[in-house]
Structure 1
Amino acid sequence: MSTLAEFRLPAADTTLSELFARAPEATVELESAVSRTRPCLWISGVNRTATAAAFEADPSIEAHDLLVERDDRFLYDVTFADGTVTLCDQLLVDGGSLLEAWAADGWWQVEVRYPDRDTLCTVHDGLVDRGVTVDLRRVSDVSKRAGTESRLTPEQQEALEAALENGYFEIPRDISMEELAAELGISHQALSERLRRAYETLVDEELQPAGRQS
């Protein structure tokens, strides 16, 4: 039985501490689908010049390339210096899979799937041993019922249910995304990403031949 864990960790103890020290209003979202070898980060809430200056001042960052500029959001491909232990390095050990990661107000919110609770405990203890202030906010077990269980994460399920209950899908909408995000206690960007990934999962489950679903 796999285990889902939701962590809250300070950037100062993990990754991008310089960015939040220089631009505490910044919001960061990990865009894992863009690059499989290097992390891609959506940055918002801070301008391009300040973001570049923070990256250049961070000794853990070797290079940063701007990939996309969309309104007030910037997508960067980031290369960390050799020997840098990033947040993902600390969390994704022994088969851990990153489901979601975003940061605001200097704190990372991360959801990871582990093979079992023992692996989660090992990761948690390792973070504590390295002096990381880790807040394990939620833990849930996922049964392996083949063929009948949705691949939605608990957060994606919660976002969809809240959207439905609050009339987000009505025409016209009864609630805006900003208002719905406030109801859930998360940022507008985090809600947008959860809904996008939930839509993608549902469409994939619907269109993928039953014999190929896992």
Structure 2
Amino acid sequence: MSTIAEFRIPAADSVMSATFERAPEATFEFESSVSKSLPSLWVSGVDPGTIEPAFEADPSIESSELLVETDDRLLYDVEYADSVHLYDDLLADGGSLLDVYGADGWWRIKMRFRNREELGRTHDRLVERGVNADLARVTNVERLTTADTQLTAEQQEALEAALEYGYFEIPRGISMEDLAAELGISHQALSERLRRAYETLVDAELRVQNEPPNTES
């Protein structure tokens, strides 16, 4: 049975630990890709003058090249050192990367496996390499709703916390700065998560509304 798994892995056990230390405000997200090669890396929260020296000082990174610069994000093509095996270890048993997000010294990795056995082998391999791979969530694909598959784990967490602490109330029960502190992330990282979550939910709602009615009897 196809399975969705979410790993929480410390950068100290995987990649870019030095980058997280030198650029603590930065957040990272792998670009969506259908390729089996390592996708490019979106960086938010910092400018090139901050992140590029961090990349250069990181022993897990061989080289980096700025591909795209927008108002709030940077896209880098990053080549990792030969000693970095995390990507190969994750995909060795046929799993597929769905989402990779990094912040505050941690990677959150969402993957799809064809069955629980593939997931188990992947987890065991990471542990054997000394990687503290915490399985944060495991879900059968058949049980996922449309909303579940569209929102990332970080976006879901941010929305749930915002609701719990009264961020959406009038007047607000908590400021964004305080909510970010509750989640242990930066103000900018929280703002970006909420913005993307809003976009995802609005897009899903509009698509549902625009679907033609089912006239089958």
- The alpha-carbon deviation at position 185 of structure 1 amounts to 4.0
> Taking structure 1 as reference, are residues 49 and 193 closer, same or farther at Cα in structure 2, changes over 3 Å only?
closer
Relative to structure 1, is the Cα distance of residues 58 and 35 closer, same or farther in structure 2, using a 3 angstrom cutoff?
Answer: farther
Shift of 1:180: 1.7
Question: Residues 159-200 of structure 1, C-alpha deviation per residue, up to 9 Å, x if partnerless?
Answer: 323323333223443322222233334443443343233223
Structure 1 stretches of 4+ moved >6 Å: 34-37
- What corresponds to 1:122 in structure 2? 121
Deviation digits for residues 189-212 of structure 1 (CA, Å, limit 9, x no counterpart) = 44334323322332232222558x
Distance 1:103 1:6 in 2: 15
d(CA) in 2 for partners of 1:179, 1:82: 38
Instruction: Show CA shifts across 1:71-106 (max 9, x none).
Output: xx66241231585646444334513233241132x3
SS in 1 for 2:142: coil
Partner residue in 2 for 1:61: 62
- Give the whole-Å Cα distance in 2 for the aligned partners of 1:20 and 1:26: 8
- The 2-side partners of 1:69 and 1:24 are apart by 19
- Structure 1: distance between partners of 2:45 and 2:34: 19
Cα contact 1:64–1:79 (8 A) shared by 2: yes
Q: Judging changes above 3 Å, is the alpha-carbon distance between structure 1 residues 179 and 5 closer, same or farther for their aligned structure 2 residues?
A: farther
Q: Name the aligned partner's letter for residue 40 of structure 1.
A: L
1:139 aligns to what?
Answer: 137
Q: Which amino acid aligns with 1:134?
A: N
Q: How many residues align?
A: 204
Q: TM-score, normalised by structure 2?
A: 0.70
Map 1:10-89; keep pairs closer than 5 Å.
10-20=10-20, 23=22, 25-30=24-29, 32=31, 38-44=39-45, 48-58=48-58, 60-65=61-66, 67-68=68-69, 70=71, 75-80=74-79, 83=82, 85=84, 87-89=86-88
Percent of residue pairs bearing the same amino acid type:
45
| Contact map agreement 1:124 1:134 (CA 8 A) in 2 | no
Cα deviation, residue 26, structure 1: 4.8
Pick closer, same or farther for the CA change 1:149–1:57 going to 2, 3 Å: closer
Q: Normalising by structure 1, report the TM-score.
A: 0.70
Partner of 2:159: 160
Q: Gapped runs of 5+ residues in structure 1?
A: none
- The CA deviation at 1:33 is 5.2
Contact conserved, 1:92 with 1:98, CA < 8 A, in 2?
no
For structure 2, which runs of at least 5 residues remain unmatched after alignment?
213-217
2:215 match: none
CA distance, structure 1, for counterparts of residue 194 and residue 184 of structure 2: 15
CA distances 1:90-143 after superposition (whole Å, capped 9, x unpaired)? 334513233241132x332333343432222121112123x2322314223145
